[in-house]
A = this chain, B = another copy of it.
Amino acid sequence: HFETVDELLSTPRTPEGTVRWINVDGLNPVDVDQICKQMGVHTLSAEDVLNTSQRPKIETFEDHLLVVARQIRVQDDRLRNEQVSLFCFRDVLISFQEEEGDVFDSVRKRIEKPASRFRSNLADYLLYALVDSIVDHLFPLLEGYGAALEDLEEEISQSPRPSSQRRLFSMKRDLSLLRRAVWPIREVVDGLYRDDSGLIADPLKTFLRDVQDHAMQVIDLLEGYRETASSLNDLYQSSVGNRMNEIMKVLTIMASFFIPITFIAGVYGMNFEYIPELGWMYSYFVFWGVCLTVTTSLAVYFWRKGWIGRDR
């Protein structure tokens, strides 16, 4: 654990047969350049490290591989999508990260165990372990999205609110971001699997196939979630349509019940001198009777249409 790059570079290289992992948190252009030059890395690779919106990729050079990946994790309730650049030499692995805090804690713990595989393998095993932990870190994340989608479904089918739609929107954006980060990982692992530079030992390939399977699983889950999100949008739209129908039904029923009888009341509120019914004794009661009849007929009509009384 060094604080400055000079300190690091002046440390003697490790003895044969052991692996050295240099992890650089924070991308200071000067330091990155210094390390890259020291290790004999191509200028463009150094630029790739600094340009933190890279697409995951693998590049093979004579004596090393460059793997660019994106680690996605939740920190302070926000999705963080950071670039990790891994230079894998025969017995040195240099990783560059944008900030402190990463998904590699499980790797670190396993390294510290005295009997770990890391002790008996070269840098390729470490590379595999890091890529593997990047992919595996996505599963709990995806489970979170799965649960959130189920909540949203519950909410939307019971009481859809504008906020549901907004949450759905931001979820779709996150899923699309995750997809863009994970799809190319498949190519990266495939590149490692097909590597013929000799840097990746053959026994490791079974492990890489495993990472590949996991990446496929993540993609499958993502596609499933994206479909669900899109169906939820349909569900929301029809929920809104249904609520509208319901509101309009209430309005229509209220208006239909009272508009005709209000008219009748208006008629007998007229001040014409000669309105025969006005003087008749039972007019008032007949009026109520008519009101009742009109309202009842309408009620029957609406009931037949299924607008009232029948459960939806």
Contact = CB atoms under 8 A, between A and B. Distances in A.
B284 A238 contact: no
Given A163-B312, A283-B274, A244 B248 contact: yes
How many chain A residues sit at the interface, stated as a range, is: 35 or more
Interface string A241-261: 111111111111011101111
Nearest to A307: B247
A117 to B, nearest CB: 10
Nearest to A279: B273
A238 B238 contact: no
Given A213-B55, A247-B252, A275-B284, A224 B265 contact: no
A165 B252 contact: no
A209 interface: yes
Nearest to A312: B161
A240 B242 contact: yes
Contacts of A78: none
Given A176-B227, A235-B166, A287-B270, A259 B262 contact: yes
B233 A234 contact: yes
Nearest to A239: B162
A237 interface: yes
B207 A44 contact: yes
A278 B271 contact: yes
B262 A272 contact: no
A236 B238 CA distance: 8
30 contacts: A44-B210, A47-B210, A48-B213, A59-B209, A161-B312, A165-B242, A169-B232, A169-B234, A169-B235, A177-B224, A237-B237, A237-B238, A240-B245, A244-B244, A246-B305, A247-B248, A248-B252, A251-B255, A252-B254, A254-B255, A258-B262, A258-B263, A263-B265, A265-B267, A265-B269, A266-B269, A267-B287, A269-B271, A272-B277, A273-B283
| CB-CB nearest 3 A-B residue pairs | A265-B266, A268-B270, A251-B252
